[in-house]
A and B are shown apart, each in its own frame.
Chain A
Amino acid sequence: KAGVTQTPRYLIKTRGQQVTLSCSPISGHRSVSWYQQTPGQGLQFLFEYFSETQRNKGNFPGRFSGRQFSNSRSEMNVSTLELGDSALYLCASSLEGRGTTGELFFGEGSRLTVL
C-alpha cells in the first residue's frame, strides 16, 4: 500500500508570493491533516479535512488555507508569503470512525524556503 505522498518536496519562493502544496493520502484514508514544523515552534497543527470539509483548524492566520477533493487528496495554500513561513509542511492521513486510535501516517513533507 502506497504511503502519503507530498509534492513538491522542496521549493523556494520570495516574499509576497503564494504557494500551493499537494498531498495524496493512503488509499482508503478520508482524513487529511496538515502540520507546520519549524525549529522554533516545533510541530503545529494547521487544519484537518474529512470528506471535503474542514473539521478542525489551528491558530494560523487566514493566509493559510486548504481544501480536500472528493478523492481525499488535499491541497494547502499560503498567500502573501512571509520569511517566517519557511518551514517543513507535513501532511498526514488517518482512518475515520469510532474505535480508531487517531494514529496519523505522515508524508515526507514539503520544505518551503521563503527568501
Chain B
Amino acid sequence: AQSVTQLGSHVSVSEGALVLLRCNYSSSVPPYLFWYVQYPNQGLQLLLKYTSAATLVKGINGFEAEFKKSETSFHLTKPSAHMSDAAEYFCAQGDSSYKLIFGSGTRLLVRP
C-alpha cells in the first residue's frame, strides 16, 4: 500500500531561520505530490504541487520543495521563517483514483 511519511511531528525554528520539513513517499511510478498547510480551525490550503514538470517546485509564501526520486523524498523548505508560518503542514501523494494519501502532519512552531 502506498504511504507518506513525515519525519517529526513537531519542528521548532527561530524567526528568520531555515525551515525544513521532511516527507518521504512510496510509489513505484512517478507520483503527484503535494504540500498543504492548515491553520487552526481551518481547512487545508495548497502550498505547492509536483507534477513531473520540474524537480524544484516553488509555492506560495516563499515555500519550495525538491523532488528527489533516488531518495523518494519531497522535502519542504523556506529560507527564512516568519511568525505567520506557524501551522500544521501535510505532505500528500495522489494515487490513480484521485484520492490523496496524507502524511501524519508536522506542526511548525516559530520562536520570536
Q: Report Cα–Cα, A48/B97, bound state, in Å.
A: 9
Kindly identify, within residues 4 to 22 of chain A, every residue whose CB is under 8 Å from any CB belonging to chain B: 4, 6
Kindly identify, within residues 62 to 93 of chain B, every residue whose CB is under 8 Å from any CB belonging to chain A: 90
**A contact patch SS:** strand
Q: Report Cα–Cα, A94/B46, bound state, in Å.
A: 12
Q: Are A56 and B99 in contact (CB under 8 A)?
A: yes
Q: Which residues of B contact A48 (CB under 8 A)?
A: 97-99
Kindly identify, within residues 28 to 74 of chain B, every residue whose CB is under 8 Å from any CB belonging to chain A: 32, 34, 36, 41-46, 49, 51
**B-contact 0/1 string along A80-115, CB 8 Å cutoff:** 000000000010101010000111111111010000
Interface size range of chain A in the complex? 20 to 34
A42 within 8 A of B: yes
Q: Which residues of B contact A55 (CB under 8 A)?
A: 97-98
Q: Are B90 and A106 in contact (CB under 8 A)?
A: no
**B-contact 0/1 string along A38-63, CB 8 Å cutoff:** 00001101001000000110000000
Q: Which residues of B contact A31 (CB under 8 A)?
A: 98
Q: Report Cα–Cα, A25/B100, bound state, in Å.
A: 17
Q: Which residues on B are within 8 Å of A, measured CB to CB?
A: 32, 34, 36, 41-46, 49, 51, 90, 94-95, 97-105
